[in-house]
Each structure stands twice: as structure tokens, then as C-alpha cells.
């Protein structure tokens, strides 16, 4: 339903009121028809804005219609020009703003459903739209695009400005007196913005009809259709406070979880280190195998512990020989180099360390050449 109005000021000047939500109360098609009708009769058109924003593409179409008009089109921000309404405001030959009004700029946002490629396509489209809107603000203010992006298009931030601030940023040309406008004080990522934009579309001349639409929106909070603005504002603030408290609780729990995880990891690493070091000390594995068993124990401690516990500590051959009977000693004394390799290769390696001369003698006898 069209909710903007036309009024003739004098023989040369007319006014169009963009009071409502872009794409809902105000469509580009209706605006195009209205603009065409009055462009043939008036040379100057004042577009008066009181809007919380709305559809990006509907807003871009309205922006282009104004920019391409053969008439002199001046913009008057009477109450609020937020989100896409602030982009439309940039289309005027001159931009005037009530000293009590507010301007709000932020990055475009949207939602999507579907497969991963569909979501990536939406994200790419939002990035592209962000660049286009940034270019509009840059063109108006004379800033470089990167400067405009830094000033106005910080993701997750709603950039609210009063008339004096907007004038200082060269977003408007002049300030005029006007009605007092109440704006939300919160500029975080919470959906106060969406709630405010919806509520802000109430036009005093069509309040009863719009309140029916608003009732659908506020029904999700279990509020009555005839809730007063103060009650709605209080409920929005309560929802925000609850949301903020929940976020604080989540942050606190995440901190505690990280502390617990860090301690658990430190304890696990200590158990792994103690297990592997003990295995080396007990002679179950050589030092060169520490890294392999550490990796195994890190991945599956119970399996590594079971495997290491099942191992017998290695005893060097000279210790084994000292503990064996004379018959065993006599038998080993008769072994050839080949016998050692087949029956006790670890003992042969230990002999190489503990009794190199005996090792060389056996080697020479086996291969007929001196061991070097």
C-alpha cells in the first residue's frame, strides 16, 4: 500500500513525502509513477524523508529516479533517514536536515537459504552492494572510496549522526528546524535496528492501519495489539538486555571452558611424557623411539600404555651372561657370529659396545676379513 503523499507548495514547487518503509510502504514503481506525473507540472520537487530504510534494490531504483529527474530535486530529512533511506537522501541537488533529525548508515545485510554455493553467492552480492553504496557516499562527500568506507561502512556498526555531525561529514548541505525525533541509543549488532525501523514507519495519518501490521510483529513477544509506544520500547530494551546478558554468560562459559581444556591438555601431555620417559628409563624402548611413542600416546594413551606395560625391559647381554649358569656361558662361548645373529641379535649389538674385541674376533672368523 502506497503511503507517501504529494502536495503542491506553489506553482513551481511540489513535495513528495517518503514516510515509511522502502519496498513495503514505498515502492519504486509507485514512486516512479508519482514522480513522472508531477515532473511535467513543477520544476522543483522537495522529497521529504522519514524512513528507517528497507529494500536495497527498491532504494537504489528510487535513488536513480531522483538523480535522473529533469527537475531540481531537494531532499528534506524530517525525522530519520536510516539505512537505505540515507542512500536515497544522497540523491538530492541540495540536502536539508532538521536539527532534531537523525541519519544512520551501515553495511547492507540480508539472509539466505540453500546450499553452500547459494550462500556464497549472497555474500558476494552483499560485498558488491556494499561497494556500490560506499561509492554513493564517497561521491556525495568528496571522499575517496576507501576513506568513505572507513568512516561510514564498518561492518556490524550502525553509524548514527545528528544534523551537526552529518553537516560536518558533508552528507548534508544545511540544517533547519523541525520536529523532535527519538532514536534508539544502542548501535550494536542486536536487532534493535530492525524493530525500530518497523515501528518508525507509523505515519500519523494512517496510524490505525499501520498498527494492525505492527500487531503481527509484536505478537511474537506476546504483547497486546494496542500496546503503547512506551510499552513497545520497554519490551525492545528488555529483549536487548536479555540478549546482552546471555552473550555475557556465553563469553564467561567459553572462558571457563578454555581454562578447563588448557589444563586437561597440560595434564594429558604430562602423563604422556611420564609414560614415555619411564619406558626409556626402564630400558623398554631406546631414546630414538621417544617421538614415535609420544605421538602414539598423545593420540591413544590407553593403547600406548598397554603396549609399553606389556614390554619387557631389555637387559644387556653381559648382564644376562652374568646371571646365567656355567652351562649357558659355555654354550654361548661356542656361538659363532652367525649363531649370535640368529639367536640373539640384540646381544650381538650389546657385545659390540661392551666387548668390541670379542665382536671383532667373531666377525673376522665369520667373514675372513677384519671388522673396521
Helix 229-281 vs helix 290-299: angle between axes, to the nearest 10 degrees?
140
For 159, residues 6+ apart whose C-beta sits below 8 A from its C-beta are 104, 105, 106, 151, 152, 187
318 catalytic residue (yes or no): no
Active site residue 83: yes
- Residue 286's nearest CA partner among 321, 306, 316 is 316
The b/e string for 91-118 (b: 16+ C-beta within 10 A; e otherwise) is bbeebbbbebbbbbbbbbeeeeeeeeee
Q: Among residues 51, 55, 83, 91, which one is catalytic?
A: 83
- Residue 283, Cβ neighbours under 10 Å: how many? 13
Catalytic residue among 55, 86, 91, 106: 106
> Where do the DSSP E strands lie in the chain?
6-8, 13-19, 44-51, 72-82, 94-98, 102-105, 159-162, 174-176
The SS3 assignment for 45 reads strand
The residues carrying an active-site annotation are 83, 106
Amino acid at each position: 500500500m502506497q503511503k507517501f503523499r504529494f502536495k503542491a507548495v506553489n506553482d513551481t514547487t511540489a513535495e513528495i513525502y517518503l514516510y515509511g518503509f522502502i519496498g513495503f510502504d514505498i515502492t519504486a514503481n509507485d514512486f516512479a509513477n508519482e514522480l513522472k506525473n508531477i515532473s511535467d507540472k513543477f520544476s522543483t520537487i522537495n522529497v521529504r524523508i522519514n524512513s528507517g530504510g528497507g529494500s536495497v534494490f527498491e532504494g537504489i531504483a528510487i535513488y536513480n529516479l531522483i538523480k535522473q529527474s529533469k527537475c531540481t530535486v531537494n531532499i528534506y530529512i524530517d525525522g530519520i533517514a536510516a539505512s537505505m533511506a540515507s542512500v536515497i537522501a544522497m540523491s538530492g541537488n541540495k540536502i536539508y536536515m532538521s536539527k532534531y533529525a537523525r541519519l544512520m548508515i551501515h553495511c547492507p545485510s540480508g539472509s539466505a537459504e540453500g546450499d553452500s554455493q547459494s550462500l556464497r553467492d549472497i555474500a558476494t552480492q552483499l560485498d558488491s552492494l556494499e561497494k556500490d553504496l560506499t561509492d554513493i557516499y564517497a561521491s556525495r562527500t568528496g571522499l575517496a572510496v576507501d576513506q568513505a568506507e572507513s568512516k561510514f561502512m564498518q561492518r556490524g556498526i550502525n553509524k548514527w549522526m545528528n544534523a551537526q555531525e552529518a553537516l560536518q561529514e558533508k552528507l548534508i548541505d544545511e540544517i533547519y528546524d523541525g520536529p523532535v525525533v527519538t532514536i534508539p541509543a544502542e548501535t550494536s549488532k542486536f536487532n534493535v535496528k530492525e524493530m525500530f525501523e518497523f515501528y518508525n514507519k507509523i505515519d500519523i495519518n494512517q496510524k490505525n492501519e499501520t498498527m494492525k501490521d505492527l500487531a503481527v510483529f509484536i505478537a511474537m513477544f506476546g504483547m497486546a495489539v494496542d500496546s503503547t509506544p512506551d510499552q513497545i520500547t520497554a519490551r525492545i530494551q528488555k529483549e536487548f538486555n536479555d540478549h546482552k546478558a546471555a552473550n555475557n554468560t556465553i563469553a564467561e562459559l567459553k572462558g571457563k571452558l578454555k581454562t578447563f581444556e588448557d589444563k586437561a591438555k597440560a595434564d594429558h601431555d604430562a602423563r604422556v611424557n611420564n609414560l614415555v620417559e619411564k619406558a626409556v628409563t626402564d630400558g623398554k624402548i631406546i631414546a630414538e623411539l621417544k617421538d614415535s611413542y609420544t605421538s602414539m600416546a598423545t593420540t591413544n594413551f590407553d593403547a600406548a600404555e598397554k603396549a609399553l606395560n606389556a614390554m619387557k625391559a631389555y637387559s644387556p647381554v653381559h648382564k644376562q651372561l652374568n646371571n646365567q649358569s656355567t652351562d649357558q656361558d659355555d654354550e654361548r662361548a661356542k656361538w659363532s657370529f652367525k649363531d649370535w645373529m640368529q639367536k640373539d641379535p640384540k646381544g650381538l649389538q650389546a657385545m659390540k659396545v661392551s666387548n668390541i674385541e670379542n665382536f671383532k674376533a667373531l666377525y673376522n672368523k665369520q667373514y675372513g676379513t677384519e671388522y673396521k
